[in-house]
Amino acid sequence: MLRLIPLRYLTKTRALVLCSLTLVAFGAFAAVDKALLEQAQALIKAGKAQEAYQMLESKEDEHAGDLMFDYLLGTAALESGKPSKATFVYERMLAIDPSYIGVRADMGRAYFALGDYGRAKIEFETVLGSQNLPSDLRTQVEQYSVAADSRAQAKPTTMTSYLEVGFGQDNNIGSASGLTVLNLPATGVYRPTAPTGTKIPDEYSTLALGAEINHMLSEKWGLMGGLDYRSRDYAKYNEPNTWTWDARAGVTYTGGAWLLRTMLTAGEYTYNSQRLRQTLGATADWRMALTTSSQLLASGSVLRAGYVPAASKSQESDTYTGTLGWMKVLGAGGTALNLSAVFGQENATGARDDGDRRFWGARALVQSSFTKDVGGYLTAGWTQSDFSGINSSYLMARHEIASDVTAALNLTLTKGVALRPQISYVKNHSNAALYAYEKVDASVNLRFDY
């Protein structure tokens, strides 16, 4: 059996790391009370990591981003049984400078403690690829790297699941224009009918649940599958009630700094208690780590939508979509920025009135952790759509721009349980007034992750 060296005995390695950080951040003691750092270091050396963590964690809001402080905080978290917290702190340090090899070794140990042997292996291999690595550190990392391989083979299958319940208020349940009378050039006066044809508000409840399973065939190849179900039920009106299920199965390949996942997908959409639309598709997602603080993402998909009711067969379509994205960790590591561009073509295989649709757009997402238990995100995007056919009601081709913005908080109540309030605003501009609308949707969701 492989015997790993306990972290509390790695004093020589830690001394090397602290020495390098002192040289890089010469002014650290000027920013943080020297006595605090010395006391924390002495507690860790004496095997009292929990005491050191409690002392440093209470000062994190004040001193986060200071290299010496962060390293001691991460080490105290790791040695006191808080590897998840340690990865967060180490990531904050590596976002500033990814060349801290000793910190990267400790990041690998934190992933190892979490049971994430794949990411632990990547960190260890990065360390071992460094030149002029001290022999004692190389020996220790080699031991952990072998152990990560062994543990990964012993536990090749993992499963995650979630349950989410919520309630909210929608001020436009049918995404209607809000106009009570419209003049259609081809047919004359048109009066939309309630509830979905006019702008009507209502309260609703939601339910979402799902699971995903991953099985590693080897160090690089894996299989995955998942299933999700979502429903929205309105309080006063049944017509806009929806239920959806989506299934996926695919293959994953890890190529060191990049990951490729290909999947087959299937789903069904039920509207007003009637099966409306069924979908079949395929997707490919690729992501590559450019640095420890940034990633490049690309994906492509094809989706075939078939309609169950005979009256809706004309709406059937094949949609081809491409996405390019970039993610960057900002500042001290508590904030991430995601930028993406989307483009595609929707072919009207059912000969619908509006013809084919060409679309393109962009989206920005900012996620931030304000404290260890409170985070949030803000996202905004727009999509322009141009239709090729002549709409029979308006006698012209439709051109539309849909924009949206959503703000949300994530409040961690306990491990695996979070409360998520959010509010969204959506506006669709159209040269055909019947299809123009705006709506505000606010909700509160309670989520359980297993």
pLDDT, one tens digit per residue, over 309-322 is: 999 999 999 999 99
Q: Identify whether the C-beta of residue 325 lies closer than 8 Å to the C-beta of residue 338.
A: yes
Long-range CB pairs of 125-134 (<8 Å, 24+ gap) are 125/256, 127/101, 130/101, 133/101, 134/12, 134/13, 134/16
pLDDT, one tens digit per residue, over 323-354 is: 999 988 776 556 888 999 999 999 999 999 99
- Residue 109's φ and ψ, nearest 5 degrees, are -65, -35
Report pLDDT for 249. 97
pLDDT, one tens digit per residue, over 25-76 is: 434 444 567 788 888 888 888 888 888 898 888 888 788 878 888 888 988 9
Report pLDDT for 255. 74
Task: Mark 111-135 as b/e (b = at least 16 C-beta within 10 Å).
Answer: bbbeebbbbbbbbbebbeeeeebee
Report pLDDT for 22. 46
Average pLDDT estimate for 160-173: 95
Give the whole-angstrom CA distance, residue 292 versus residue 96: 9
Average pLDDT estimate for 120-139: 74
In this model, does residue 150 exceed pLDDT 80?
no
Report pLDDT for 395. 94
Give the whole-angstrom CA distance, residue 313 versus residue 310: 5
Report pLDDT for 440. 98
Domains of the chain, each with CATH number or no CATH = 7-154 (1.25.40.10), 157-449 (2.40.160.60)
Average pLDDT estimate for 357-365: 97
pLDDT, one tens digit per residue, over 219-263 is: 678 899 999 999 999 999 989 999 999 999 999 887 767 789 999
Average pLDDT estimate for 2-20: 42
pLDDT, one tens digit per residue, over 417-429 is: 999 999 999 999 9
The dihedral region occupied by 389, where left means phi > 0, alpha psi between -120 and 50, and beta the remainder, is beta
| 3-class DSSP state of 24 | helix
DSSP category for residue 315: G
Report pLDDT for 155. 63
In this model, does residue 93 exceed pLDDT 60?
yes
Q: Identify whether the C-beta of residue 210 lies closer than 8 Å to the C-beta of residue 228.
A: yes
When comparing pLDDT for 22 and 218, which is higher?
A: 218
Strand pairing report for 202-216 and 221-234 = antiparallel
pLDDT, one tens digit per residue, over 380-417 is: 999 999 999 999 999 999 999 999 999 999 998 987 89
Tokens of 296: 């490049």
When comparing pLDDT for 128 and 445, which is higher?
A: 445
Average pLDDT in the chain:
85
Out of 226-235, 363-372, 431-440, which region has the weakest mean confidence (pLDDT)? 363-372
Give the whole-angstrom CA distance, residue 46 versus residue 34: 18
In DSSP notation, 340-384 reads: EEEEEEEE-TT--TT--EEEEEEEEEEEEESSSSEEEEEEEEEEE
Report pLDDT for 154. 61
Give the whole-angstrom CA distance, residue 315 versus residue 257: 42
In this model, does residue 444 exceed pLDDT 80?
yes
